[in-house]
A = this chain, B = another copy of it.
Amino acid sequence: MLGLMQHRPLALPHVFHRAEQYFGHKTIVSVEAAGETSMTVAEWAERVRRLATVLDTLDVGADSRVGTFCWNTRRHLELYLAAPCTGRVLHTLNIRLFPEQLVYIVNHAEDEVVFVDRSLLPVLWPLVDKLETVRHFVVIDDGSDAEVPEDPRVHDYEALLAAATPFAGTFVIEDESSAAAMCYTSGTTGNPKGVVYSHRSAVLHSLISLMADGVGLVERDVVLPVVPMFHANAWGLPYGCLLAGSNVVLPGPNMTPQAIAALLEKHRVSVTGGVPTIWMGMLPLLPDHDLSALRAILCGGSAVPKALSEGYREAIGVPLLHAWGMTETSPIATVAVTRSQHDGLSEAERADVRARQGPAVPLVDLRLVDPSTGETQPWDDTATGEIQAAGPWIASEYYRGEGEGVQFTEDGWLRTGDVATIDRYGYVRLVDRTKDLIKSGGEWIGSVELENEIMSHPKVAEAAVIAIPHPKWVERPMACVVVKPGETLTAEEVIAHLEPRVAKWWIPDAVEFIDEVPKTSVGKFSKKTLREKFGGYQTGVPSSAGPA
């Protein structure tokens, strides 16, 4: 027996038309090289309708990929809606990719058109002859003085919009399973792989960002996504804002902590989101800014150092709100909210809870699986296992079937590659990446946990822990530590800091000081690079500590 409810697809046209109809008076602020502009949602929506026509004029195929090579700007947001609402697939290109990766991705996705900020032309244009499927480059003039090539493939965004007739009707996507957007993951091994979001997944994920027990976007919010719009759709914040009716502030190319702090103050931003690096940089600036409107500072991309979050709580009363996920999870899978069971805890214990990844949001299912045995692990906060994820906005496969059998289980769950414990209330605590786990004398050592403890030292800026070979224990941990500018630190001090904090046999056999932790193109620690660098490392003194 079937339910007798309307067959209304969960699709992005609803998000667009709702924003246009209910929130036309709200504002979108955009900072570009030429300065700051402010526009109402109604004005913005009219431009989306023009852009829809432009895509037809450029003869972009019915479900072709529309590449964007842009900063976080209002015009990027126009593309966020115009492409999927007309059935095309928004393909956000990571502007920080290595050239060969970028070429690979554009060709693999078969982008027909790429919209590019003028300030980013010098990065993209040298590759133009290698981009096999791109027929049009539409330059968004952001006030940069980068040279615009004289080439028949090159168009001016504003000229196209000015010449276009706004699409007059209601956008319709009949099949909610159809592709809305795609984003490539740049894993540390192999070629980048394409994650293809559906209209259904985009809408459901947007709804989740409106949940009170989470990010809880509301109409009164002013939202500034620092996280780039080419990273898993800026964590879904742009679509979430349009659905909730929040004002939006898009910071453009100047992502320095100084610039972001100034925007947060000026526009009385209430919700922002970005990776820990930006919040680290902004921490010393807090006393100079009135950030009293801020109610949520979303932090993701990597684990949140507890000391950093506490720094924010002490300075402005708002700790960081950690969310966990990845491109393959749209990306929000968990949000580290505190709940009533934490009410009796001390402030320090609550800080520990906030430093976890938190419980799964509604509609997401998680399970812990032992990477060696394949057995499901209990949620007792002790047993570790790889987190596997299922849900309507979790990838089922990569574009063109890549990664099958490796990244996805036989019963269709995503292998996240993150190793964690989960407590009885469902709170995830990451301990490592499956590929970064250190197995010493038959026991696992969590490199991420060790890093977090080292980074809680007040003189440490960053730390990465890797495995080094050991004749007796097979592997032993080694800490690569970045000292804060102007500070000095010895290996002995690092060890002394760790001793009361971790099991004796977790204490690294070696501590090396480095200038910075190498990063991947999306800003994550590249332990692969460190392992290459220290591959032949031998500790001077054989460790006396082994698994108990």
A residues engaging B (CB < 8 A)?
1-8, 10, 14, 17-18, 21-22, 24-25, 63, 89, 175, 177-180, 195-201, 203, 207-208, 210-213, 216-220, 243-245, 330, 339-341, 359-360, 362-363, 365, 379, 390-399, 412, 414, 424-426
Decide yes or no: A3 and B200 within 8 Å by CB, A210-B213, A211-B212, A426-B22 being known contacts: yes
Interface centre among A3, A18, A395 (most CB of B within 10 A): A3
**Known interface pairs A63-B1, A201-B5; A392-B426 also in contact (CB < 8 Å):** no
Within 8 Å CB of A6, what residues of B?
Answer: 390-392, 394-396, 412, 414
Nearest-CB distance from A323 to chain B (Å)? 16
- Residues of chain B contacted by A24 (CB below 8 angstroms): 424
Contacts of A365 in B (CB 8 A): 8, 14, 17
* This chain's copy number in the assembly: 2
Instruction: Tell me the dominant secondary structure on chain A's binding face.
Output: loop
* Cβ A197 vs Cβ B3 within 8 A: yes
A25 contacts across to B, CB distance below 8 A: 341, 424-425
Which of B208, B219, B426 is A21 in contact with, Cβ under 8 Å?
A: B426
Question: Closest residue to A25 on the B side, CB-wise?
Answer: B341
Determine which of B3, B8, B245 lies in contact with A391 in the assembled complex, contact meaning CB atoms within 8 Å.
B8
* Interface contact B243-A201, CB-CB below 8 Å: no
Given contacts A8-B363, A207-B362, A362-B207, contact A3 B213 (CB under 8 A): no
Knowing A14-B365, A220-B340, A365-B14 are in contact, say whether A5-B395 is a contact too (CB < 8 A).
yes
Is the beta-carbon distance between A396 and B362 smaller than 8 angstroms?
no
Contacting pair A3 B177 (CB below 8 A): yes
A212 in contact with B217 given A2-B178, A8-B363 (CB within 8 Å): yes
Q: How far is the CA of A18 from the CA of B212 in the complex (A)?
A: 17
User: A14-B363, A244-B213 known; A339 and B220 CB under 8 Å?
Assistant: yes
Taking CB atoms, residues of chain B closer than 8 Å to A201 are: 3, 5
Most-contacted residue by chain B among A203, A207, A210, A243 (CB, 10 A): A210
Of the candidates B14, B392, B426, the one whose C-beta lies within 8 Å of that of A10 is B392
12 contacts between A and B (CB under 8 A): A1-B63, A1-B178, A2-B175, A2-B178, A2-B196, A3-B178, A3-B198, A3-B199, A10-B392, A212-B212, A213-B219, A219-B339
Among B2, B213, B390, the residue within 8 A (CB) of A198 is B2
Chain B residues within an 8 Å CB radius of A379: 21
- Cβ–Cβ contact A218 & B212, under 8 A: yes
Distance in angstroms between the alpha carbons of A203 and B21 in the assembled complex: 25
**In the complex, residue of chain B having the shortest beta-carbon distance to the beta carbon of A62:** B1
Do the beta carbons of A5 and B340 come within 8 Å of each other?
no
Q: How far is the CA of A17 from the CA of B89 in the complex (A)?
A: 34
A220-B340, A245-B339 are contacts. A5–B210 as well, Cβ < 8 Å? Answer: no
Choose among B8, B179, B220, B243 the residue that contacts A392 (Cβ–Cβ < 8 A): B8
Smallest CB separation, A228 vs chain B (Å): 22
A220 to B219, CA, bound (A): 22
Do the beta carbons of A195 and B396 come within 8 Å of each other? no
